[in-house]
Amino acid sequence: MKMVKVIGSVTSTIKEESLKDFKLLFVQMVDLKLEGKKEYYVVVDTLGLGEGEVGLIVTGSTAKLTDATKGKTVDGTIVAKVDRLDMDKNVKT
């Protein structure tokens, strides 16, 4: 899984039939200090995360393994909201 921060949302009227019911979030990968990296994805959200919140995404074929995304043209899905990150104090960052 990759750890990301929700930084926006995408509105699309013309899209694949199978994407019709999904909320599309614009997310940014974060590092161990939760600071944004220059890597962005648009992902499906079924957990209801809001802007600024941190979550975990799965990509590739795994993104289609949730009940909601089965068989859909989806290659990125939020699967968890991150409540807390406990870091080893000795990590050099």
Which residues lie below 8 Å from residue 66, measured CB to CB, with a gap of 6+? 46, 77, 79
> CB 26 → a copy of itself: shortest distance, Å?
6
Phi, psi of 18 (to 5 degrees): -70, -10
> CB 39 → a copy of itself: shortest distance, Å?
9
Closest Cα partner for 9 from 81, 85, 78, 66? 78
Closest Cα partner for 5 from 54, 39, 50, 42? 54
> CB 63 → a copy of itself: shortest distance, Å?
7
List the interface residues with a copy of itself, window 16-75 (CB under 8 A).
16, 18-19, 24, 26, 28, 31-32, 36-38, 40-43, 47, 51-52, 56, 58-66, 71-75
Which residues contact a copy of itself (rule: CB under 8 A)? 1-3, 6-16, 18-19, 24, 26, 28, 31-32, 36-38, 40-43, 47, 51-52, 56, 58-66, 71-77, 79-88, 90-92
